[in-house]
Amino acid sequence: MKQIMLALAVFLAACGPSQPTDTVESLVANPERIKEIQRLCKEDRAKVGDELCRRAAEATNRLFFGDGKTPYTPSKEPPKF
């Protein structure tokens, strides 16, 4: 009887809201998926989930800004005004 209760407890603990499978890295590799998620977030953010919307936003930032490892290198020539 204890084994059945333990198995039932483990089974129920495993049941829960599923986590989004899209990672920031996978979204960076698939810009079309980012656009789709952003559209879904605009339509019904509660249904999509905050976490997935945040991942899409982070992937968009990484695509736009890059990885952040490139240092700023000013021009050797001064600007001409």
Domain residue ranges in the chain: 20-67
Please state the pTM of the whole predicted model. 0.61
pLDDT value of position 13: 58
pLDDT value of position 37: 95
- Using only the alpha carbons of the chain, give its radius of gyration: 22
Query: Is the distance from CB of 49 to CB of 37 less than 8 angstroms?
Result: no
Query: Is the distance from CB of 41 to CB of 7 less than 8 angstroms?
Result: no
pLDDT per residue of the chain (81 residues) written in tens, 0 to 9: 667 766 666 665 556 555 558 899 999 999 999 999 999 999 999 999 999 999 999 999 999 888 777 777 888 998 888
